[in-house]
Structure 1
């Protein structure tokens, strides 16, 4: 039997009427002190930008619902990024509609109304009932806080009746009911036979592109996420033993504690790679242990309470000091990262940043005696031999998503140029697999990445994560200082 719309489940008990009548009485009012949020003025301007992009059309942006984890339990809900950016609403099952009014749009947020104590739902529904999940905002309270008209989502179906498909754009993939109402379009082919964006695809692209430049409020949120992340790395360094061993998952858990205490949670699954695990780019199994003399690579980021995420990587010597070879490789990676940061300014093409970082890495590989042939031959687009040991690009956009603005058209993103108030990562790395017989044995199992989050400024870039060390000497000094300070509770 399917779950009822009220949120009741098939196995919920059938209570006697006497109990139901008893539960319906004796409840006092619960009032919320609601004021317009600081974000409301920004979300209004963002909606205006979308309105201007699609005059005369209806724009529909859902957020989606909880996803089933197992049986009748759900994953913790995380709002859709575009929906959150346009509304500030982080609850499930909402739909934003920009209704064309002839001269612009009327923005309406449709969401599930609060069912108060005059409804049995508050004590019977494990999914929606306030006795189970706590006090929810009413439609009016939501309207005041978010600065937008709010209507019961039950009205949505009737208010979308009769719309001409050719004048509707839907952010697809979030709400099956909305997707079914407006059939997906088939992509037309361009002059060279490549599929063109559908109308809905164009909406997704424009939303991504509008999010490329961060406004002042977003920059504050990103700095907040980075600052919490810095404290999380400090927490981890303080419990990382210089002798003996500690599980990767223990370090993952220490960082996770900080992320939940000060933020919404993790921006992505933490990568904690000790020894040769550092050479696996997306190592999230985290079932290894640290070993003195080896390195540990940790790629971790906190998502703050408004869903903006940091993305930072540090590679630390477990014993507290780099070996000469580890230092040599680390310094190559740092030089690559610094070179990339040095060329960032408004108008710099993404590919120039990438090529700048990769050239330094290729030159370093040549100096290590690893690279066959010349640096120029390795970098040639018909060769790219150097990528055996670099594996990935220099970085990506950052914001509400760890890989932010991913639906942007190439000419606006990786085939375009950075602009002021873009926020992006710079994260070159070198990775020598444990079974790579083309490199000297002493390099095998060494993986090093340094990743920071930078804002493009009028003159260059600002390192938002400068609270963590980057050079090999600074890393050693910082690690010693954290260990001397000792473990701390995440709230300290």
Structure 2
């Protein structure tokens, strides 16, 4: 077995377990080791109901099987990543693995073995910690330290997939014959074990397919995205209620307030929250969130809650910290709102994916010309040359789902050059950003950044705004803030 793909360490009865350097205990006595083996209740769970999405994950695996007949498919969850020394980042299962299994545990691996006209799925997981050899209390990842794992029988009941001990996987992979594909980037040990059985090109085809399979959401996914947007709306309300406290501290108060809502009602935030006050709003991915919050300036809050089943919202509102827009702030805000309205109107079945971007960019370009920032050029000429991008900067939206920038590995012809159909969920998020040091705009514009972003579901007859519980129109934003501030 390769060093990169180790078994969970087992303790030799005759040898003291390696202790943490500078640990306070000198070792483990035979008497202590023996006493830790017994006196524990049977905690096996019986009669567990399948998870809510078990039927959907089975359908997804069946579709994957049909796409790659006769090939062994390996989809890892991933491993813990070190943050510093002996501390790790919170684990988040790979999207591909969670999409196909509904499981979120570290070290898990889904294997689809060719069988007949299809495949037989097996999920490889770490079983309950072994009490006989001390693993559960002497191993830093044992259950006494990090919590109880499901038994393999429990996992089978919950997921609807036959489960085996992940420590049996290296031998199973070594014995494998025939074509194999692996989703790379999540488990270096598996990649090392499969070096002579896979090719980068074939593995990439699997990754691309799993991205494109998520372009159209099923009923479970749509419900999860709705839930994510609803919780996110409550998080934005929480922020408005504490803006006075944020003024006394910093953007971090806003970040922490939204994170609290995400953890109370969801799994986490879906991405690093952008809590950009004042001129920081002109930095697209301002995630330091350590700046001052000042009355009279704008707060650009781009944040999304990730549900317990790992679907994320992605919403942006630009709010007057005082509760009221200044005339110039409102002028810029209204331009972005008008552009977003045009973009949302272009989202419908049969439309090109690019249509909503083009519609929003046209409106913003018209406004920039109207304000005298682009000379006497026509709208079409500006768009041809891309000159508006000095202030619009980014594309107007992207796919949304389990990843905030979902389906990222999809082919260009299926995504950016593709056609919208019912079940597609995307963001529409135009913006205008006038940098503090931009000498090409009037001084009063400098340091103002505005973005409005909503999560839009393509329906049979048009679209539905999943994040519409948050107001967008300027008067409605002010009234909403006044109500929340009491």
TM over 0.5: yes
Give structure 1 stretches of 5+ with no counterpart: 188-196, 485-492
Q: Report the equivalent of 1:356.
A: 359
Q: Report the equivalent of 1:305.
A: 308
Q: Give the Cα–Cα distance (whole angstroms) in 2 for the partners of residues 341 and 139 of structure 1.
A: 47
Runs of 4+ in 1 over 6 A off after TM superposition: 1-4, 184-187
Which stretch of structure 1 is more off in the superposition, 369-378 or 428-437?
Answer: 369-378
- Contact kept, 8 Å, 1:27 with 1:117, in 2: the verdict is no
Q: Report the equivalent of 1:379.
A: 383
Which residue of 36, 40, 48 corresponds with 2:54?
A: 40
Q: Report the equivalent of 1:55.
A: 69
Which stretch of structure 1 is more off in the superposition, 47-56 or 3-12?
Answer: 3-12
Q: Report the equivalent of 1:219.
A: 222
Q: How does 1:186-335 map to 2 (within 5 A)?
A: 198-241=201-244, 245-335=248-338
Which stretch of structure 1 is more off in the superposition, 312-321 or 149-158?
Answer: 149-158
Task: Please report how far the alpha carbon of residue 38 of structure 1 lies from its aligned counterpart in structure 2 after TM superposition.
Answer: 1.5
Post-superposition CA distance 1:163-211 (Å, at most 9, x none): 346x111111111122123338999xxxxxxxxx811111000000011
Q: Give the Cα–Cα distance (whole angstroms) in 1 for the partners of residues 266 and 246 of structure 2.
A: 32
Flag the 1:242–1:287 CA change in 2: closer, same or farther, 3 A: closer
Q: Give the Cα–Cα distance (whole angstroms) in 2 for the partners of residues 409 and 52 of structure 1.
A: 19
Q: Give the Cα–Cα distance (whole angstroms) in 2 for the partners of residues 131 and 237 of structure 1.
A: 41
Task: Please report how far the alpha carbon of residue 121 of structure 1 lies from its aligned counterpart in structure 2 after TM superposition.
Answer: 1.5
Q: Report the equivalent of 1:465.
A: 467
Which residue of 462, 471, 476 corresponds with 1:474?
A: 476
CA RMSD of aligned residues (A): 2.0
Q: Report the equivalent of 1:66.
A: 80
Q: Give the Cα–Cα distance (whole angstroms) in 2 for the partners of residues 154 and 248 of structure 1.
A: 46
Flag the 1:185–1:156 CA change in 2: closer, same or farther, 3 A: closer
Secondary structure of the equivalent of 1:137? coil
Post-superposition CA distance 1:270-321 (Å, at most 9, x none): 1011110000001001111111111110101111111111100000001111
Which residue of 422, 425, 428 corresponds with 1:426?
A: 428
Task: Please report how far the alpha carbon of residue 445 of structure 1 lies from its aligned counterpart in structure 2 after TM superposition.
Answer: 0.3
Q: Does 1:182 align with 2:201?
A: no
Task: Please report how far the alpha carbon of residue 5 of structure 1 lies from its aligned counterpart in structure 2 after TM superposition.
Answer: 3.0
Secondary structure of the equivalent of 1:110? strand
Post-superposition CA distance 1:334-362 (Å, at most 9, x none): 11111111111111111111111100110
Flag the 1:271–1:348 CA change in 2: closer, same or farther, 3 A: same
Q: Give the Cα–Cα distance (whole angstroms) in 1 for the partners of residues 65 and 31 of structure 2.
A: 53
Q: Report the equivalent of 2:157.
A: 144
What is the TM-score with the length of structure 2 in the denominator?
A: 0.93
Which residue of 122, 132, 138 corresponds with 2:145?
A: 132
What is the TM-score with the length of structure 1 in the denominator?
A: 0.92
Aligned length: 471
Post-superposition CA distance 1:139-183 (Å, at most 9, x none): 110001000111111221222234346x11111111112212333
Give structure 2 stretches of 5+ with no counterpart: 11-16
Q: Give the Cα–Cα distance (whole angstroms) in 2 for the partners of residues 463 and 431 of structure 1.
A: 24
